[in-house]
Structure 1
Amino acid sequence: MNDDEKMNDDEKISILLSNMTNELVSSRVRVRAIVELLEEKGLITREEYENRFKKVFERDAISYRNDLLKEVKIDE
């Protein structure tokens, strides 16, 4: 019996949620760092960033979410 078989469902979910949380935090920090650098260099304003974020979110969020959900189902 391998380690995956020894873990119960609650343990698997806990690890999955922990990994997802770490990825989300890391992604937010990376984006914030990039935005701050671009603002400091005068290349973009906060308003330009917010407007572009809304545009890209509306365009891409659903397909990204669906892709991630497909990956989770495949890994189960």
Structure 2
Amino acid sequence: MAALPRGPPPDNSGERQREQFVRLVLDSRQRLETLYTSGQSEAQMAAGKAAEFERLRQHYRQMRDQQWSGEGRYDD
């Protein structure tokens, strides 16, 4: 009979963080795609793009600080 592993269970937080980050980026990408196909003027699209990137940064910081205990593996 094989010995059971001892110690704490494996920490899957890195994988969970990666999944959350990818979802955040894919959601942002979808909103940008909608913006780019909306028929708005270039100036309106540029403003919308800037707002979306600020939204992405804000949501990332919130996720990092509130769910990941400040671990900023995607800060760079």
Distance 1:53 1:33 in 2: 11
Identify the residue that residue 17 of structure 2 maps to in structure 1: 20
* Deviation (angstroms), 1:52: 2.2
Length-normalised TM-score, structure 1 = 0.52
* Deviation (angstroms), 1:27: 1.0
Structure 1: which 5+ residue stretches go unaligned? none
Deviation >6 Å, runs of 4+: none
Identify the residue that residue 36 of structure 1 maps to in structure 2: 33
Distance 2:19 2:33 in 1: 21
Change (3 A) 1:68 1:27: same
Length-normalised TM-score, structure 2 = 0.52
Structure 2: which 5+ residue stretches go unaligned? 1-6, 72-76
* Deviation (angstroms), 1:69: 4.9
Residue-pair matches, total: 60
Identify the residue that residue 47 of structure 2 maps to in structure 1: 48
Cα shift readout 1:41-69 (whole Å, capped 9, x = no counterpart): 12441x21343246555xx57x7243335
Indicate the SS of the match to 1:41: coil
Distance 2:24 2:17 in 1: 11
